Homo-oligomer: A and B are copies of this chain.
Amino acid sequence: MGVYPKAIKNIIDDFERLPGIGPKSATRLAFYLINFPKDAIKRFADDLINLGGVKICKECFGVAENDTCDICSNISRNHKVICVVERSIDLLAIENIGEFKGIYHVLGGVVNPLNHVGPEDLKIQELIDRLSKGIEEIIIATNPTMEGEATALYIKKKIDESKLNIKISRIGSGLPIGADLEYADLATLSRALSGRKQYE
């Protein structure tokens, strides 16, 4: 184009590198920021730099402020139940419900041969290593996608091989609350049927 001042062009490029932000949104955001208060811009820039200070918890591999995250270092939580998730953001989604009182284990992704991600690229061995520390139950909460399911099955197999007496479960899947059977896809509907629960 050549008509954008360089400072604006640069910030548009930065925004465009982010997921879900195309050229139009990036331009809109850049122009919005021009009229932003100077101190807010400064804070934004500082916050970006400070992101580099985010640590990975040495217990669960989730994001943390210190070497161990707030959840792993919280003795009032149930350290006998581990919920296994793909990414830190999934951990926070579950944490937002406010119902799970156990601890977590973040795999760092899922097995995905197409993207050259094998089990050895994930924190699976680290999970197995944690199991001998008095763990009684594992809830595998990888996403109900093909890769998530395969990863869940792989983890289940590994735990079975460890011969530890641990209860293993998979997070429930089926129709989301508020959904309409008419519009549900076949895979979800089939899973909802096979995963039916009897009234007690």
* Chain A residues engaging chain B, CB cutoff 8 angstroms: 1-8, 10-11, 14, 17-20, 25, 27-34, 36, 38, 40-55, 63-65, 69-71, 87-89, 91-92, 95-96
Contacts of A5 in B (CB 8 A): 54-55, 63-65
Among A54, A71, A96, the most chain B Cβ lie within 10 Å of the Cβ of A54
Contacts of A4 in B (CB 8 A): 63, 92
Q: Which 10 A-B pairs have the closest CB atoms?
A: A45-B45, A5-B65, A10-B47, A45-B48, A14-B44, A7-B50, A31-B89, A11-B47, A3-B95, A7-B54
Q: A31-B88, A92-B27 are in contact. Are A11 and B65 (CB under 8 A)?
A: no
Contact call B32/A42, Cβ cutoff below 8 A? no
In the complex, what residue of chain B is closest to A31 when comparing beta carbons? B89
Contacts of A2 in B (CB 8 A): 70
Among A40, A48, A71, the most chain B Cβ lie within 10 Å of the Cβ of A48
Complex CA gap A4/B65 in Å reads 8
Contacts of A20 in B (CB 8 A): 25, 28-29
In the complex, what residue of chain B is closest to A49 when comparing beta carbons? B45
Oligomeric state, in copies = 2
Complex CA gap A89/B32 in Å reads 10
Contact partner of A1 (CB less than 8 A), chosen from B45, B50, B95, is B95
Contact call A47/B89, Cβ cutoff below 8 A? no
Complex CA gap A186/B71 in Å reads 57
Contacts of A45 in B (CB 8 A): 44-46, 48-49
Complex CA gap A85/B29 in Å reads 19
In the complex, what residue of chain B is closest to A46 when comparing beta carbons? B45
Contact call A49/B42, Cβ cutoff below 8 A? yes
Complex CA gap A31/B153 in Å reads 27
In the complex, what residue of chain B is closest to A9 when comparing beta carbons? B47
In the complex, what residue of chain B is closest to A53 when comparing beta carbons? B7
Q: How far is the CB of A188 from chain B (nearest CB, A)?
A: 21
